Every structure is written in structure tokens, then in C-alpha cells.
Amino acid sequence: MVERGPEPGTDASDPADGRGADGRIVVLGIGNVLTGDDALGPTVVTTLGAEWQIPSEVMVLDAGTPGMDLIALASGARGIIVVDTVLADGPPGTLRIYDRDTLLGKPLTPRVNPHAPGLIESLFTLDLSGHGPAAVRLIGVVPEATDVGVGMSDPVTASVPKVVDVIVRTLEEWGVPMAPSPEPVKPDLWWQVAARGVFIEGSSSPSRRD
């Protein structure tokens, strides 16, 4: 049996992560790695971090499905870039890009479940508190299927480098010079060890894997 306890001194605590977003640009990958194509956001930000040098003024975070906890992650940021699957027209893998005015231009509908996704609600609330980011960009990809199970569809997998490219261009547009990592590594998509097809009738749309 291999020992796999923590090794002394390998603790990755970064006090900066406790400081909040103050003045930085925050890149959030949103989605659940356990539900098919919804792993897009975490996959993209993990890939970005493995292939590009991340400047200190940028915070890249696999944010999971934080709901209104987005407020805590984005509070005080100068700009936020959000990567997520989106409900939109177009074949799976289609990129859709939305900016601040589009996102905040729609009236909100009542929520029964207080933990329903809260990107737009979080942005409104941040604005009201005076900590809202000046620049907002949602980079969305139309999913093929988001059933319970690990693994993304081919078209959504193929969109990952395109989304990474849009993030890099957006950061440059917002005044942050970006350079590829001199020693790119393979992204640590640790959840893929559990990849296998799972098909659940009634829970979601038909499966697309194996």
C-alpha cells in the first residue's frame, strides 16, 4: 500500500486566497464535475492554469456550483470572467458570449430554491453593495448532456481550447498581458478517474457516453 498522506511542507495555503478579490480580475469556472458536460467550467480553468502563466492580478478558480456564494468569490473584483454551460440555442459545443448589460438587462424571476444558480442575482447584489465588478463576461457553451456521471461529450470537449482562447483574449482586452507557460503541464482533471457512462431516465436528457 502506497502512503498517500500529506507530505510536510506541501501545504498550498496562499494567504492571497483569503484576501478576497480586491482589485483583481477573477476567472471563475462554474459547473459540476460529476454531471457530464457541466464539467466544462472547471475543465477550462484548470486547463488555463496548466497552459498559461497567470499574472498576480488575476485569480483563477474552479468555483463548482456556488449559487449565491458567487458574491463572496467575486466581491471587490475589477472584472469577472465566468465560464459555464448555458441554456441557449445552437448545437452542442456552440460558444455564446454575454457581457454585463445583456446579463443584467432581464428581470429576475422568483426562486423557490434559495440555492438555485445565482450568477445574475449575485451580480445585482454586488452592484447594490458597491462591490460589483466593472467588467463582466460570461463565456457559455451549449451542453449536449448533463446527466449524473463523469465525462464530457465530444463537441463540448472540443470547445475547451476555444474557450481558453476567448479568456486569454478577454484578459488582454482588459489590459492584462498574457503569455503561455514556459513549462506547460497536463491539466489535473482529477475527477476523470471516475469517468464512466451513467444513464438515468427522467433525471435529465439522454446520455451520450459509451
Partner 1 sequence: MARIVVDPVTRIEGHLRIDVEVEGGAVTNAWSSGQMWRGIEVILQDQDPRDAWMFAQRICGVCTTVHAIASVRAVENALDLAIPLNAQYIRNLILIGHALHDHIVHFYHLSALDWVDVVSALDADPAGASRLAESISNWSGNGRDAMQNTKTKLQALVDSGQLGIFQNGYWGHPAMNLSPEANLMAVTHYLQALDIQRKANQAVAVLGSKTPHIQNLAVGGVANAINLDNQATLNMTRLYMVKDLLDEVAEFVKEVYLPDVIAIGAMYPEWLGHGAGVTNYMAVPDLPLDGAGTEFDLPGGTIMNADLSTFRPISAFGDPYLRDGVAESVAHAWYEGSEDLHPWEGETIPNYTEFQEDGKYSWVKSPRFYDEPVQVGPLAQLLVGYAQGHERTIRGVDDALSRASSIAGAPLGLDVLHSTLGRHLSRAIRAGMLADLAGRHWQLLVDNIQSGDTTTFEPFEFPDGEIRGYGFHEAPRGVLSHWIVIRDGLIHNYQAVVPSTWNAGPRDSQSRMGPYEASLMDNPVADPELPLEVLRTVHSFDPCLACAIHTSDPEGRELSRVRAL
Residues 156-195 that bind partner 1 (CB under 8 A): 190-191, 193-194
What nine digits make up the cell of 64? 463548482
Please report whether residue 96 would count as binding partner 1 according to CB under 8 A: yes
Q: How far apart are CA 28 and CA 124, in angstroms?
A: 17
Q: Which of residues 17-46 bind partner 1 (CB under 8 A)?
A: 17-20, 30-35, 38
> Judged by CB, which is closer to partner 1: 56, or 109?
109
> Judged by CB, which is closer to partner 1: 158, or 200?
200
Going by C-beta distance under 8 Å and a sequence separation of 6 or more, which residues neighbour residue 6? Answer: none
**How many chain residues bind partner 1 (CB under 8 A)?**
88
Please report whether residue 14 would count as binding partner 1 according to CB under 8 A: yes
Please report whether residue 51 would count as binding partner 1 according to CB under 8 A: no
DSSP assignment of 116-173 equals S--HHHHHHHHHHHT---SEEEEEEE--S---SBB---HHHHHHHHHHHHHHHHHHHH
Using CA atoms, how far residue 84 sits from 78, 131, 190, 191, in Å, is: 20, 22, 19, 17
Q: Which residues pair with 58 in a beta bridge?
A: 25
Please report whether residue 15 would count as binding partner 1 according to CB under 8 A: yes
Please report whether residue 134 would count as binding partner 1 according to CB under 8 A: no
Q: Which of residues 52-91 bind partner 1 (CB under 8 A)?
A: 61-69, 71-73, 75, 82, 84-88
Please report whether residue 101 would count as binding partner 1 according to CB under 8 A: no
Helix (H) or strand (E) holding 30, with range, is strand 25-30
Applying CB under 8 A, among 140, 171, 187, 209 the residue interacting with partner 1 is 140
